[in-house]
Every structure is written in C-alpha cells, then in structure tokens.
C-alpha cells in the first residue's frame, strides 16, 4: 500500500483507490498528489500511539535548554525556581515565571504542582494557549482524554501550533476517533519545523492508516 498526500486539501489517499492515470491527482481538488509513504502494521491504533509516546516523552526542560538534567543543571534549575517564586511574590501576575515552573514540575512528573501553576496562569489569563496546552499535557499523562480535549480546543483558538495539533491527534486516538486523529497529525506534520518531527509524524500517520485496512 502506497499513500499519497495533497498539501492543499491535507488529504491522504491509498493509491490503490485511484485509477492508474489519476494516481497523482487529488480526487478532491485535482492538484498534484505527493508520495507520502508505505506502511504495513499489525498493531492497533492504541498500540501505535503508545509506541510513539515511548520515544516522544514530554520533556519541556530538555526542550527549553537543549540539555538533560545533570547535577549541575539541576542546581541551576533549583536556583531558577527560587528566582521564579521570588518574581511571583513581587509581580503576582507574572505569567512567564509561572509557565516555567509549571513546565518544570511537569517534566519531573510532579503533576499537582504543575497543575497548580497552570491554573494560576488561566486565572490571570483564561485564554493563555500555553497554559491550556500544558493542562492538556497533564491530563494526557493522567489518561483523562476528554478533559484534555477541552483545554486543547481553547489553546487552538489562540495558537495553531504543531504541538497542539499533535496533542489533539493523540487525544483522538485514545478516544477511538482515528480519522480525526489522522487529520490533526497531518496538520501537525504540515507546520512542524523539525525535519525529524515531520518524519516521525509522517510515519505515525502511515501506521494509523495502515491499521484501518
């Protein structure tokens, strides 16, 4: 099975469903179709996303610093915590400091502290995309997918990022809405900046489509 992709419609088609002379023409808009990949799997969608999660563990500190938490870095981060807490005391509406702390505690899987700071941000600014997305990260960790979906929808109203679309895809896989999940993963793929991330999302979409056949 070969998959072809229309960048205009964000549509993926199994080329076996197309007539030979139209294998590179989108059946919806007549634009050119591009080869997307070939995948055969025997895993269920749930297993596919669980395997994806194993290699894409959420680690905001690594994302922000480009490092792992060495002893030296941990000491530096502990100082950052003190500075952030001090900043909040002097500026009760400091969102940036709260966002750093929320992400830090999430990376350490200290979910209660992380949730606390995310909710403080939302109390200050209910439409803050990063806080709403962050709460979705927490809820995905807790397997509370329906609740996560609500926060992701709010985040999406303010910021159409690859990360938000990716989370929406993950949530919809767990809610057994595979077509919607594929649609969101494709949106994430289309705007992802990292080549590695694009390749990972491309493989994930191919596997999910193959799991339906």
| pLDDT tens for each residue of 87-123 | 999 999 999 999 999 988 888 888 999 999 999 999 9
Statement: residue 64 has pLDDT above 50: no
Same domain as 92, residue 23? no
- Please give the tally of structural domains in the chain: 2
Same domain as 100, residue 4? no
According to the model, what pLDDT value does residue 63 have? 45
Specify the range with the lowest mean pLDDT, choosing from 75-79, 137-141, 159-163, 208-212. Answer: 75-79
**What confidence category does residue 80 fall into, taking pLDDT thresholds of 50, 70 and 90?**
confident
Same domain as 140, residue 45? yes
What CATH number should be reported for the domain holding residue 104? 1.25.40.10
Same domain as 74, residue 16? no
Placement of tokens 């949106």 in the chain: 187
According to the model, what pLDDT value does residue 99 have? 93
Same domain as 23, residue 102? no
User: Which domain range does residue 123 map to?
Assistant: 39-211
Same domain as 200, residue 154? yes
Statement: residue 43 has pLDDT above 80: no
Tokens of 59: 């680690």
Same domain as 59, residue 1? no
According to the model, what pLDDT value does residue 191 have? 92
pLDDT digits (tens, 9 = 90+) for 147-162: 999 999 999 999 999 9
According to the model, what pLDDT value does residue 28 have? 73
According to the model, what pLDDT value does residue 211 have? 78
Mean pLDDT (the chain, rounded): 80
Mean of the pLDDT values across residues 193-210?
Answer: 86
Percent of the chain with pLDDT over 70: 68
Same domain as 121, residue 64? yes
Same domain as 76, residue 10? no
According to the model, what pLDDT value does residue 124 have? 96
**What confidence category does residue 45 fall into, taking pLDDT thresholds of 50, 70 and 90?**
low
Same domain as 90, residue 164? yes
Same domain as 168, residue 114? yes
Same domain as 56, residue 9? no
């Amino acid at each position: 099975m070969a998959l072809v992709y229309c960048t205009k419609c964000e549509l993926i088609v199994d080329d076996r469903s197309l007539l030979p002379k139209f294998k590179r023409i989108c059946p919806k808009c007549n634009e050119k179709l591009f080869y997307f990949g070939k995948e055969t799997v025997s895993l269920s969608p749930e297993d596919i996303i669980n395997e994806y999660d194993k290699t894409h563990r959420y680690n905001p500190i690594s994302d922000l610093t480009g490092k792992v938490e060495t002893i030296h870095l941990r000491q530096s981060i502990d100082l950052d915590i003190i500075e952030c807490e001090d900043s909040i005391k002097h500026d009760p509406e400091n969102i940036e400091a709260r966002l750093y702390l929320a992400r830090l505690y999430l990376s350490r899987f200290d979910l209660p502290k992380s949730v606390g700071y995310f909710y403080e941000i939302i109390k200050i600014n209910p439409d803050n995309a990063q806080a709403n997305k962050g709460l979705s990260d927490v809820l995905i960790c807790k397997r509370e997918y329906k609740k996560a979906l609500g926060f992701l929808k709010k985040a999406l109203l303010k910021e159409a990022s690859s990360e938000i679309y990716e989370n929406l895809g993950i949530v919809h896989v767990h809610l057994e809405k595979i077509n919607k999940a594929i649609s969101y993963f494709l949106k994430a793929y289309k705007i992802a900046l990292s080549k590695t991330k694009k390749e990972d999302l491309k493989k994930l979409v191919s596997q999910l489509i193959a799991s339906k056949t």
